[in-house]
Amino acid sequence: MTSELIGLTAQDLIEGYRKGEFSPVDATRAVLARIEETEPALNAFVRVDAEGALARAEASARRWREGEPMGLVDGVPVSVKDILLQKGAPTLRGSKTVSEQGSWDEDSPSVARLREHGAVFVGKTTTPEFGWKGVTDSPLSGATRNPHDTSRTAGGSSGGSAAAVAVGAGPLSLGTDGGGSVRIPASFCGIFGLKPTYGRVPLYPASAFGTLSHVGPLARTASDAALMMDVISGPDPRDWSASGPPSGGFRDALHGGVRGLRVAYSPALGGQVAVRPDVAAVVRAAVTRLAELGAYVEEVDPPVQVERSTDPVEAFHTLWFSGAARVVQPLPASRRQLLDPGLREICTRGARYSALDYLAAVDARMALGRRMGAFHSTYDLLVTPTVPITAFEAGVEVPRGSGLRRWTGWTPFTYPFNLTQQPAASVPVGLDGDGLPVGLQIVAARHRDDLVLRTAHAFYEAEVASHTSPNTA
């Protein structure tokens, strides 16, 4: 029963609870057993609350027996990235500079909504320090490893969440994405990850990285992610920048297929990106299938960079490095020595930017947003590889021998759409020659999360996308 339960989606679990085939206690015990099997080899969790999880599961089981579940995910095991506040659990953000002492008596909005819907919180997942980079390792918790090959990275910064979902340690996890941090690990671990339109999921406390940072679900399927979105997209007055209530349910938007959608397929951003050949081949095959399903697919590049002066990476670095500097600003020099050396480096650079530098980056961001807005007046969707490579060695920021300096050098398909605040998802569409997952990215205009989820769901229904069980014991 244990192996069967950890392979079920959240919706499968809910259906099983409804029919009385098994209980939330059964599912939670199976997930806790799976965590015990895979930790510390994966290092996906910084904290596991077995006692609390079982208590919540038992309360949920009583509600199901009485025919009164309290919400959409009542009894579903869920993990939370250790960037987001969770009542009763220290949120250390991957840093030795954050003390465990404190009341920890508040939930972030998305965590609060999950609690209101009866979710069973099993633990907090690993993150790089303050979520600053596209892989998951930190001085506090070490490196998180890929379930498909534990010598390799799970990606980041929501790497712990992605690894947990991939290995069966709960069907749902909450992540954050400031430059690809949900989509990168989803691609590397072979699961589904969604970065919703900015503001669609309220965030509190506000991120030091400002409006680059989105909260989103990691799951095995697009339909499970839609279920989670129906829970976490509820309004919260603590986020002044959040969107109003959604106009409809995300699960309701899944159906209808892709027939007639206008899709721009950009295999390499106009040749600017060196995409590994087996990654390119897997993504192209999935795009071919998209056309067979009835979408109008045209190979065309988005106006991400129209000339060198409009390269978004420098604007992103200005905003990102300034945010990092703001995170550590309160720390005395003696405490800064505890930080990840790479984080210290970008903080030093970020502290040197002037207000005019920052505003120039905002201008570049707005210009990119205008260009992408015009682009989506012609194309409903943009499809690209999520990442031009597959998972590389764990414990390093960039692949060895790549000549790259920062994680943004190997994530050119992800961070532009944090600048523009557009919804974007990574869908697992196959494996490379080493058996490592390859992700395809779907991007839509702001507030068209429904199109992203609908297209991703069509990939799953056509069996183009699927969760590949990793080899991890």
Give the residue numbers marked as catalytic.
81, 157, 181
Distance between CA atoms of residues 142 and 148, nearest Å: 18
Distance between alpha carbon 432 and the CA centroid of its chain, in Å? 21
What are 390's two structure tokens?
């597959």
Q: Are strands 120-125 and 381-385 parallel, antiparallel or unpaired?
A: unpaired
- Tokens 């420098």 belong to 314
Q: How far is CA 256 from CA 39, 224, 261, 381, 427, in A?
A: 40, 17, 11, 15, 18
Distance between CA atoms of residues 88 and 104, nearest Å: 5
C-beta atoms surrounding 248 within 10 Å: 10
Nearest to 314 by CA among 262, 362, 369: 362
Task: Check if the beta carbon of residue 418 is closer than 8 Å to that of residue 195.
Answer: yes
Task: Check if the beta carbon of residue 217 is closer than 8 Å to that of residue 161.
Answer: no
Distance between CA atoms of residues 221 and 223, nearest Å: 5
Sign of CA dihedral 404, 408, 411, 416: negative
Q: Are strands 214-219 and 296-299 parallel, antiparallel or unpaired?
A: unpaired
Residue type, 310: T
Q: Measure CA of the first residue to CA of the last residue in the chain; give whole Å.
A: 17
What are 442's two structure tokens?
């779907």
C-beta atoms surrounding 179 within 10 Å: 28
Any long-range contacts for 251-254 (C-beta under 8 Å, 24+ apart)? 251/223, 251/226, 251/227, 253/226, 253/449, 253/450, 253/453, 253/454, 254/222, 254/223, 254/226, 254/453, 254/454, 254/457
Burial of 420 (C-beta count, 10 Å sphere; 0-12/13-18/19+) = buried
